[in-house]
C-alpha cells in the first residue's frame, strides 16, 4: 500500500490539530495511508527567549525568520527521513497547482516549512528542494498554505478518496473546469435543471457535459480556455 508522510515545521503547530482531525484526511490517517507530524520551530532555537526572528539587514519593516532554527529543525526531521522532499512555503515561490500536486503525490515523505512575519531569511531557499506559493496573494503565515498542499496532495494518494473516478473527472484533471452538476429538486424557485440530464440518452448527456465544461472554462478561466484552443502551445 502506498503511504505518504508530511512533516510540518511551524511556530504555530496547534493550528493543524482540528483541520487534520476531520473528514477524509482523518480517516486516511486512521487507516495508515497518510501520516502527519508537526514540529514546533521554537524547539530548535538556541535563543534562550525562544526567538526565531530578527530585524532585517539593510533596514525595512517587520522581522525576518532566522535561518538557524529552520536549519536545525530540517536536520532533525531529515535524520530519520534523509530522502524527504522539502518545501518552503513562500508567496515568491513557484505556483502550486494540480499538476504539481500529482507530482508530489508520488513522493513518500514531504517536509513543509511555514514562514511568518515578513518571511524567512533568503538563504533558507538553499536548504530546501523547492519553494512553493499557493497563489498570488499574501497570507500571514505558511500554515494555511501547508494545509492546502497536504489536503490537495493527500487526496491523490490511492485509497484516500473513496471513488477514484471522481479524481479523473474533476476540475483541472484535463486542463479545464469540471462540468456543472445538479441534484434534486429539478425546479428550485424557477431555477431549472437542464432537460438533457433527465433524457436518459447517455451519448447526449456526455456531449452536453463536455460543452458545458468548455463554456464554464471560457467564462471563468479564459487563460485555460485559450490553452485548450491552441493545443497548449501558449
Residues near ligand SAM, by CB under 6 A? 89-92, 114-116, 118-120, 133-135, 137-142, 145
Dist. CA 187–CA 193, nearest whole Å: 7
Give the SS3 label for residue 204: helix
Residue nearest to ligand SAM (CB): 115
Least distance (Å) between residue 92 CB and ligand SAM: 5
CB atoms within 10 A of CB 198: 11
* 207 contact partners, CB below 8 Å, separation of at least 6: none
CA distances from 31 to 40, 46, 48, 231, 233 (A): 25, 38, 40, 41, 42
Nearer to ligand SAM, 77 or 176 (CB): 77
Nearer to ligand SAM, 139 or 197 (CB): 139
Nearer to ligand SAM, 140 or 199 (CB): 140
Dist. CA 212–CA 87, nearest whole Å: 37
Least distance (Å) between residue 62 CB and ligand SAM: 7
Least distance (Å) between residue 89 CB and ligand SAM: 4
Q: Which residue has the cell 512553493?
A: 132
Nearer to ligand SAM, 137 or 191 (CB): 137
Least distance (Å) between residue 146 CB and ligand SAM: 8
Dist. CA 142–CA 128, nearest whole Å: 15
Give the SS3 label for residue 53: strand
Least distance (Å) between residue 225 CB and ligand SAM: 25
Nearer to ligand SAM, 34 or 145 (CB): 145
Amino acid at each position: 500500500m502506498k503511504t505518504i508522510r508530511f512533516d510540518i515545521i511551524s511556530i504555530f503547530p496547534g493550528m493543524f490539530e482540528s483541520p487534520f482531525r476531520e473528514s477524509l484526511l482523518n480517516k486516511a490517517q486512521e487507516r495508515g495511508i497518510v501520516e502527519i507530524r508537526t514540529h514546533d520551530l521554537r524547539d530548535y532555537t538556541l535563543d534562550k527567549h525562544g526567538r526565531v526572528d530578527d530585524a532585517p539587514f539593510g533596514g525595512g519593516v517587520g522581522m525576518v525568520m532566522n535561518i538557524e532554527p529552520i536549519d536545525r529543525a530540517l536536520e532533525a526531521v531529515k535524520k530519520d527521513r534523509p530522502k524527504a522532499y522539502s518545501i518552503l512555503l513562500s508567496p515568491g515561490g513557484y505556483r502550486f497547482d494540480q499538476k504539481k500536486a500529482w507530482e508530489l503525490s508520488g513522493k513518500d515523505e514531504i517536509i513543509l516549512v511555514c514562514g511568518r512575519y515578513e518571511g524567512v531569511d533568503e538563504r533558507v531557499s538553499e536548504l530546501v528542494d523547492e519553494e512553493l506559493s499557493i497563489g498570488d496573494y499574501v497570507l500571514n503565515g505558511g500554515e494555511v498554505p501547508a494545509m492546502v498542499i497536504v489536503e490537495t496532495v493527500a487526496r491523490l494518494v490511492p485509497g484516500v478518496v473513496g471513488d477514484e473516478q471522481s479524481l479523473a473527472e474533476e476540475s483541472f484533471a484535463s486542463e479545464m473546469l469540471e462540468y456543472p452538476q445538479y441534484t434534486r429538486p429539478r425546479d428550485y424557485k424557477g431555477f431549472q435543471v437542464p432537460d438533457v440530464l433527465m433524457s436518459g440518452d447517455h451519448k447526449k448527456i456526455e456531449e452536453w457535459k463536455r460543452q458545458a465544461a468548455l463554456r464554464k472554462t471560457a467564462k471563468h478561466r479564459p487563460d485555460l480556455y485559450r490553452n485548450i484552443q491552441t493545443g497548449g502551445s501558449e
